Copies of this chain bind each other. A is one copy, B any other.
């Protein structure tokens, strides 16, 4: 973890101190930092998988809603979720922080949360960068490996589409906060402490899933990404969409920031075995067909207008 630039307000000394404190706080969850770059080994025969994701204060989270540790963990989970969507195993996490003065004290807690996320999936923070900036943001790069990546473009007509978990919880929490209420604990946890479905995705790939995406924009919106990438029509059965307690079907189909994953598979997947293995539901929610690429939502067998993607922060 290196500081490459000085800064107006922090001063070089203070910035270096902050980086040192972060490394200390990460402890064994940081590995190999201190050089210009991280050095990692991709298992022989596997391919490298890499993704980057940014969380910006007041765009992707609000400080009043979450603890600094939750903010750090959640930012890293959002990026790790992209590895899950590829069916990859994690290799390491790089963190780029943009830090205004007001966040300097909370920084080691944020770092601890990022370390939590890495540790939970059996990985490490392997590098980073800190820059002074007027707005707080966390950009997480995740590196992983796998033999045969799951792809957005691999859905074929006739495939079944499954989603992990239950949807709508993060959306419920955000609505409560916007209305000035505290969300109930379960909904809050779905927003504040999502779980990247890395092991689940690898299990599903081994069980025959060929396509995947993570639910970050909202189920219907993300199915739309799959449909367009694969050139297929995807028909969602609204009644089947698994709902977080208190969430209706529209909320479950529209709410984003879920970090559950959707997979496509040519043959039925064993939802009972999946639930027994992970304690998480796996639900068949849609099927793919020939037709103009896009998503069709059916409720009680009738076609209805698809709900638009989530739109939390403009609400």
C-beta contact mask, A21-57 vs B, less than 8 Å → 1, else 0? Answer: 0000000000000111111111010011111111110
CA distance A35 to B222 in the complex (A): 12
Of A2-10, A237-245, A269-277, the segment with at least 4 beta carbons within 8 Å of chain B is: A2-10
Chain B nearest Cβ from A290, distance in angstroms: 22
| B5 near A256: Cβ-Cβ < 8 Å | yes
Q: Which of B53, B127, B137, B143 contacts A133 (CB 8 A)?
A: B137
Given contacts A54-B98, A94-B50, contact A36 B5 (CB under 8 A): no
Q: How far is the CA of A226 from the CA of B71 in the complex (A)?
A: 34
Residue numbers in B under 8 Å from A35 (CB-CB) = 86, 149, 151-153, 229
Flag if A143 contacts B50 (CB, 8 Å): yes
Q: Check A59 for interface membership: any CB of B closer than 8 A.
A: yes
Q: Quick one: which of A5, A55, A56, A135 has the most chain B CB within 10 A? A: A5
Kindly state the separation between the CA atoms of A153 and B34 in the bound complex, as whole angstroms.
Answer: 9
Count of this chain's copies in the oligomeric assembly: 2
Interface positions of A from 149 to 170, Cβ below 8 Å from B: 149, 151-153
Question: Does any Cβ of B come within 8 Å of A88's Cβ?
Answer: yes
Q: Does A128 contact B (CB under 8 A)?
A: yes
Interface residues of A in 66-118 (CB under 8 A from B): 78, 82-83, 85-86, 88, 91-92, 94-96, 98
The yes or no answer to A190 lying at the interface (CB within 8 A) is: no
A260 within 8 A of B: no
Interface locus among A181-189, A279-287, A294-302, A307-315: A307-315
> Which chain B residue lies CB-closest to A12?
B309
Please tell me if the beta carbons of B50 and A5 are within 8 angstroms of each other in the complex. no
**Complex Cα distance A216/B37, Å?**
14
Q: Which residues of B contact A137 (CB under 8 A)?
A: 98, 131, 133, 137
A37 touches B88 (CB 8 A): yes
Does A60 interact with chain B (Cβ within 8 Å)? yes
Q: Chain B nearest CB: distance from A139 CB in Å?
A: 4
| Residues in A203-245 with C-beta less than 8 Å from chain B | 212-214, 216-217, 229
Give chain B residues whose Cβ lies under 8 Å from the Cβ of A314: 6-8, 11
Report how far A3 CA is from B3 CA in the complex, Å. Answer: 28
> Is A132 an interface residue, CB under 8 A from the partner?
yes
In the complex, A40→B48 CA distance in Å?
5
- For residue A264, CB closer than 8 A to chain B, the reply is no
A-B interface, 5 closest residue pairs, ranked by CB to CB distance from nearest: A37-B51, A36-B85, A141-B141, A36-B82, A54-B131
Q: List 7 A-B contacts (CB under 8 A).
A: A6-B311, A35-B229, A40-B48, A41-B47, A52-B129, A54-B96, A54-B98
